[in-house]
Structure 1
Amino acid sequence: MVADSLARFLEENLIALNDKGLFNTIDVIEGANGPEIMIEGRKLINFASNNYLGFATHPELIKAEIEAAETYGVGAGAVRTINGTLDIHRALEQKIAEFKGTEDAIAFQSGFNCNMGAISAVMKKGDAILSDELNHASIIDGCRLSGAKIIRVKHQDMADLEAKAKEVTESGEYNKVMYITDGVFSMDGDVAKIDEIVSIAKKYNLITYVDDAHGSGVMGAGAGTVKHFHMQEHIDFQMGTLSKAIGVVGGYVAGSKQLITWLKSQARPFLFSTSLTPGAAAAALKSIELMQNNPEYVEKLWENANYFKGKLQAIGYDIGVSETPITPVIIGDEALAQTFSKALIEAGVYAKPIVYPTVPLGTGRIRNMPNAAHTKEMMDHALAIYAKVGKELGII
């Protein structure tokens, strides 16, 4: 039996979300999450996935996962610090470090866990964190958990970052200060100014933390945004996921050997959650090897993204400031964004609305994620639907 107070809270707030156009339905995919998907028996062109390279269904990753499960079992059986560290976990971590250009790396069960665990393992009460105002929710939650003073920095505003870094460090109030930013911002697709960040960080002795969830496998020939700027020796924390371009599940932090040793002894999700499955670790390892040995995967991603973005703009859509495959179609009104998405799905394009609180109020949008597995025919079909539906709704 549900408590009356809980029932009232849920009913009132669910109705309010729906009335404001902020309630998202969850669709069930029948089969694999590829460039095309099946929902309720209908085939749709899929532009909602973070599967940048198409690796989630890659035969070599599937084979690696099956073989690892046959060798190690389906689960690791314990947390990493007891007896849940298998040799496949260490092989993955060593491969990540090699790929990212760092001394070592630590693998977590998810990207969210990375930010929750790594930030709070180093930053404490008495410290300060300078955080870009559009950072991902997991960064925000990780900063809150740390107990450090959180100071918002205007988005990608290096003058604001320097002014606040100067103020905070010269105050003498804090033991240590970190600047944390996404490498690629997931809603707008813009890229952090890593070279300028490093210059300011050196000047004010800031710890640097880059969440490269949407940059790994995309920027820097796949090695990420930090590598794109050749700054891997100057960024303290390189965090990323194994669940987007890598195509599997999990997350990691790459950095100095001393940092990784500390995180393995202090990061709570690492200490208190069962290890990444052996199959996932093996598949992620294979994914990185494929990127290293076959640059055409990342090249195809960019070829498709540039084609799709250019055609959307030619049709008349506002795609904002994106510098990456992330392609928002900015509508503004949240309810209209919801209506637009429903019309696209009905016509055969699966592209979901992104509304508040994921993005600021009044900036509702459809976010498209063209990937390396999309064919030109798929993209052209989707673009024709975008043109038709946009005109019908008066958006273009």
Structure 2
Amino acid sequence: MFDAIIIGARVAGSTLALQLARQGRKVFVIDKMRRGQDTLSTHFVWPRGASYLNRMGLLDKVLERAPSATRVNFTMENFRFSGEVSLDLLAARYERLHGTTIGAKVQQRYFSARRKWLDTLLIDAAMEAGAEVRLNSSFEHVIRDADGRPMGIEVRSSSGKLEKIFAPLIVGADGKRSSFARQMGSIELEPRRGCSFACFSYFTDTGLPLETHIQKRGRLALAHCATNDGAHMVLLFGPESFNEAFGQDREHHFLAGLKAINSEIAEQVRQGRRVEPFYSTADQAGFIRNAAGPGFALIGDAACFKDQCTASGMTHALRDSALLADLLAIDSIDLQDRDRLDRALAVYQQKRIADSSRYYDFVCLQAEMNATRPDELQLFEALQADAQAANRFVALYGDTLPVRDFFSEHEQKKILRSILLQEPPARLPVHESVLGNPFLSPKPALSQGEAVALSRNCVEFATPPGADLLNRVEDYYDWYRERMTHETFQYSRTLETFPGPRTRLVDDSGRAVKGINFASQDYLAMGQHPAVRQAGLEALQKFGPHSAGSPMIIGNTSISRDLEGQLGAMLKMREVVLFPTGWAAGYGSIVSLVRPQDHIVMDRLSHSCLQQGAYAATKNIQKFPHLDYLTAAALLRDIRSRDQRNGIMVITEGIFSMDADSPDIRAFQRICRENGATLLIDVAHDFGGTGPQGGGQLALQGMLGEVDLVMGSFSKSFAANGGFLATHSPAVKQYVKMYSSSHLFSNALSPMQTAVALTAARIMVTPEGDDLRAKLMRTSLLMRSEFANLGLECRGQPGPIIPVMIGEEKVARVCHRILQKRNIAAMIIEYPLVAVGTARLRLQIMASHEEADALTACHEIAQAVGEARDYCGSARDARFNGESVPGPVSGRSLSPLESSSAEFFIE
């Protein structure tokens, strides 16, 4: 019987075994690798990781063979700067996580070591400390007790012998494809598909310097660092979409890519001697797993995998092993004491999430490998002029300075102060060779204008450079005109008739679509209902067309009170406040209740009104992976461990409109009550249109009347503008009415809109409402089934929204053009509303859609997607043949600012 079993003997597993063995625990370690076996890795350990090794007494031995330095050099486009991580920041980050000081063990040096040597050194250290390490053996199965708790594992030796090993604690350190995590049911959360491809090898006799250099130009980047045995590791990386073409001639493209970034470095590498094959991967999509549960934990890549672009994996593996070992060392926890062990594991999960969630987002943004935006160029220009700020950037990149601290408003103002009074540098020509895929073979070229229309995105224009507020938007207008000319602009189309299942609309150029409509939001077809229309006409006759005032003056009517009562009855909540729009309801509910000293914990994909309301209310905002209540719980516990005095609002939605998925509302409400937090649910897309009596996900999950705050919109199922907030508290209602600016300082919902929403709500709770929801669901199921037959993926759960996945943004835009010509109205959703490379059609179903039209739309869409993919696969952007397009092409790259431009677009 062992105290702990560790599955995986590389950096995370071996160092945890070492530390637990030094605590006097009996540790068993298993790994399928052979002794001295290499693994794909950047080999890089930042000063934060080196400090952990120093604390273990291993750093000096590592540095005997692995070259090290303190300064890291960056060249970002045309700006050069270098920096080192300060001892003070290292010590502060350690104390913040571990609660104790690390003292003289803090180490500023970083190093890069070959894994086949470093892993062997760490395994030997673990064995010297008393751990039993068994290599070349495989983990087979988890052994559980009668309650399902892990109690041991089955191990198969290289000879095929099966053996059972038992311990009260089992730790998975078996990497991104962790078999242990899979058997424990720890699913991958928050997957990020936008990742980089990477290719590297080892070169000698290059003349490259000892210090690590990272350089980014357009959408490509390189890095080189000295490693053991006199070799330099040279790495080329770019967006994952470049990988297929790159792989057609790896050796040639490797040097061509280096040359496109830095011709001098490329020549040094060419003249050097490559001593090993090229190693490459594009399998770097990130994810987070729940890192602990009763009797088990995950560490390193098994707990969270990130793209290689910041070379932080080994540093975080060392952090995880030290954190878990430290928590188990407190009061020398007896691992047979299940309650104390599980409490320690819960704290590990909590602290790990609090330490790493923002950095995970930061790395995922870098991995998209978008070209640099103007505001980012301004930041890099400032870093070039400010050595202290450059040090802090290096500390950010190596995850010593927290992301939130570097991108705080105060820090950014301080960094930029030195350049804001200077004339901006002349706009440099854009290096087209590294904006598109330079590895593609020459193909028929698109026109210059169509190339622009199929590239770029809204985010790059969100922070335009220049002091002239009006003229600086011309770049956006040029892009808009190209998209209009080439029929790839899906926004701002105008209806010329009623928005029913068939309609007529035109775009800004007068091009018309007259046909099947899956772009309008009228889930139960209430806008077509005779009683609903009649109610609007009667309200017009009685009250006129205009509310004529704020609801806090005399803008409301008797219909308003009836509507509040009807909504309260449907939601089983006593009090309701009306707002002029759903956006105003989301924004106003938050800003009225949350104050600057309070905290907000919200789903990363929350709607724009919720995001902007949060940032307007407080800077204390933390985001959890989409739908992940376990991470949300860990964040809540972390906040409460530091702040018992101020409020916490947790924010999620009933149905998320981009993925058509839903959270576990009961679990969210439970964790809120356990931690003294308030839950706000946005039910805009599910209330009325789904669930028994139109109760949406609240009714489907048995949570009507059980949630603290419910806000929603009338624009999806109620055939009206407007929104609401529902609460059990009369005090909250009156307070929100007074302190919500979007309620107090807006005119009330018009009498006609109020009457329409009220009549729709009354129909929803009748048998007719049940029939309408059933008709909508039948159409949704029919279309999802047909899309599956046609080979198209639909995300989420059946309901009024069907996200049909397309992939590349340019394919989606061409698909839009084709569908317009075939008289199908459907909305293309692309970055930044969704992640790069996950563009989709968002179809919105009405109860009045006919089966024939639904099936016709499925087949037209499938054909359009196929044609668009063929078109984009056979036509090559003229810019990539060396022609120049003015203006930077950029996306979301290095600015996870507290109120980022990308969040502005979340809808």
TM-score range with shorter-chain normalisation? over 0.9
2:11 match: none
* DSSP 3-state at the match of 1:99: helix
- Deviation at 1:303? 1.1
Pair 1:269–1:7, CA change in 2 (3 A): closer
* DSSP 3-state at the match of 1:5: coil
Task: Give the alignment of 1:298-313 within 5 angstroms.
Answer: 298-313=773-788
2:838 match: 363
Answer yes or no: is the 8 Å Cα contact 1:100–1:224 preserved in 2.
Answer: no
Task: Give the alignment of 1:334-373 within 5 angstroms.
Answer: 334-373=809-848
1:35 match: 501
| Matched residue type, 1:228 | L
2:683 match: 212
- Deviation at 1:96? 0.8
Pair 1:176–1:18, CA change in 2 (3 A): farther
Pair 1:23–1:345, CA change in 2 (3 A): closer
Greater alpha carbon shift after TM alignment, 383-392 vs 86-95: 383-392
1:110 match: 581
Deviations 1:129-183 (A, max 9, x none): 0010000111001111112511111111122111111101111265011110111
Higher relative contact order (CA closer than 8 Å, sequence separation 6+)? 1
Instruction: Indicate whether 1:123 and 2:123 are aligned.
Output: no
Answer yes or no: is the 8 Å Cα contact 2:727–2:733 preserved in 1.
Answer: yes
Answer yes or no: is the 8 Å Cα contact 1:305–1:371 preserved in 2.
Answer: no
| Matched residue type, 1:38 | R
| Matched residue type, 2:715 | S
Pair 1:82–1:337, CA change in 2 (3 A): same
Q: Alignment identity in percent?
A: 26
| Matched residue type, 1:272 | F
Instruction: Indicate whether 1:10 and 2:485 are aligned.
Output: no
Pair 1:152–1:16, CA change in 2 (3 A): farther
Structure-1 separation of matches of 2:648 and 2:704:
20
Task: Give the alignment of 1:242-257 within 5 angstroms.
Answer: 242-256=714-728, 257=730
Structure-1 separation of matches of 2:580 and 2:666:
30
Pair 1:154–1:18, CA change in 2 (3 A): farther
1:47 match: 518
* DSSP 3-state at the match of 2:524: coil
Answer yes or no: is the 8 Å Cα contact 1:124–1:148 preserved in 2.
Answer: no
Structure-2 separation of matches of 1:301 and 1:148:
41
Gaps of 5+ in 2: 1-465, 507-511, 871-907
Greater alpha carbon shift after TM alignment, 10-19 vs 339-348: 10-19
- Deviation at 1:325? 2.6
Pair 1:167–1:137, CA change in 2 (3 A): same
Structure-2 separation of matches of 1:165 and 1:194:
16
* DSSP 3-state at the match of 1:253: strand
- Deviation at 1:390? 3.0
Structure-1 separation of matches of 2:641 and 2:840:
41
Pair 1:391–1:72, CA change in 2 (3 A): same
- Deviation at 1:13? 2.8
Structure-2 separation of matches of 1:263 and 1:137:
20
Answer yes or no: is the 8 Å Cα contact 1:169–1:177 preserved in 2.
Answer: no
* DSSP 3-state at the match of 1:324: coil
Structure-2 separation of matches of 1:28 and 1:212:
27
- Deviation at 1:216? 1.0
Structure-1 separation of matches of 2:702 and 2:862:
40
Of 283, 306, 330, 2:756 maps to 283
Deviations 1:209-249 (A, max 9, x none): 00111011223221222222122333111111111111111
* DSSP 3-state at the match of 2:586: helix
- Deviation at 1:29? 1.2
**Larger Rg belongs to:** 2
| Matched residue type, 1:278 | P
| Matched residue type, 1:258 | A
Answer yes or no: is the 8 Å Cα contact 2:804–2:843 preserved in 1.
Answer: yes
1:162 match: 633
Structure-2 separation of matches of 1:146 and 1:281:
29
1:374 match: 849
Gaps of 5+ in 1: none
* DSSP 3-state at the match of 1:338: helix
| Matched residue type, 1:73 | G
Of 16, 19, 26, 2:492 maps to 26
Answer yes or no: is the 8 Å Cα contact 1:340–1:393 preserved in 2.
Answer: yes
Greater alpha carbon shift after TM alignment, 217-226 vs 163-172: 217-226
Instruction: Indicate whether 1:391 and 2:866 are aligned.
Output: yes
Pair 1:103–1:356, CA change in 2 (3 A): same
Return the TM-score normalized by structure 2: 0.42
Structure-2 separation of matches of 1:226 and 1:158:
16
Deviations 1:328-379 (A, max 9, x none): 1111211111111221121121112111221122211111112211001111
Structure-1 separation of matches of 2:738 and 2:470:
42
Structure-2 separation of matches of 1:192 and 1:340:
31
1:96 match: 567
Structure-1 separation of matches of 2:521 and 2:513:
21
Pair 1:174–1:48, CA change in 2 (3 A): farther
- Deviation at 1:316? 0.4
Aligned residues: 393
* DSSP 3-state at the match of 2:765: helix
Structure-2 separation of matches of 1:309 and 1:161:
31
* DSSP 3-state at the match of 1:181: strand
Instruction: Indicate whether 1:230 and 2:702 are aligned.
Output: yes
Greater alpha carbon shift after TM alignment, 267-276 vs 8-17: 8-17
Of 657, 666, 674, 1:203 maps to 674
Answer yes or no: is the 8 Å Cα contact 2:831–2:839 preserved in 1.
Answer: yes
| Matched residue type, 2:750 | T
Pair 1:9–1:44, CA change in 2 (3 A): same
1:62 match: 533
Instruction: Indicate whether 1:84 and 2:555 are aligned.
Output: yes
- Deviation at 1:18? 7.3
Answer yes or no: is the 8 Å Cα contact 1:106–1:264 preserved in 2.
Answer: yes
Instruction: Indicate whether 1:239 and 2:714 are aligned.
Output: no
Structure-2 separation of matches of 1:343 and 1:23:
12
Provide the aligned C-alpha RMSD in A. 2.0
- Deviation at 1:280? 0.7
Answer yes or no: is the 8 Å Cα contact 2:504–2:515 preserved in 1.
Answer: yes
Answer yes or no: is the 8 Å Cα contact 1:217–1:224 preserved in 2.
Answer: yes
| Matched residue type, 1:108 | F
Structure-2 separation of matches of 1:143 and 1:270:
17
| Matched residue type, 2:775 | K
Answer yes or no: is the 8 Å Cα contact 2:579–2:723 preserved in 1.
Answer: yes
* DSSP 3-state at the match of 1:209: strand
1:328 match: 803
2:445 match: none
Return the TM-score normalized by structure 1: 0.94
2:650 match: 179
| Matched residue type, 2:781 | N
Structure-1 separation of matches of 2:828 and 2:556:
40
Structure-2 separation of matches of 1:77 and 1:352:
35
Deviations 1:78-118 (A, max 9, x none): 11111222111111111111111100111110010011111
* DSSP 3-state at the match of 1:244: coil
* DSSP 3-state at the match of 1:393: helix
Structure-2 separation of matches of 1:117 and 1:285:
22
| Matched residue type, 2:771 | E
Structure-2 separation of matches of 1:99 and 1:182:
18
| Matched residue type, 1:54 | A
2:153 match: none
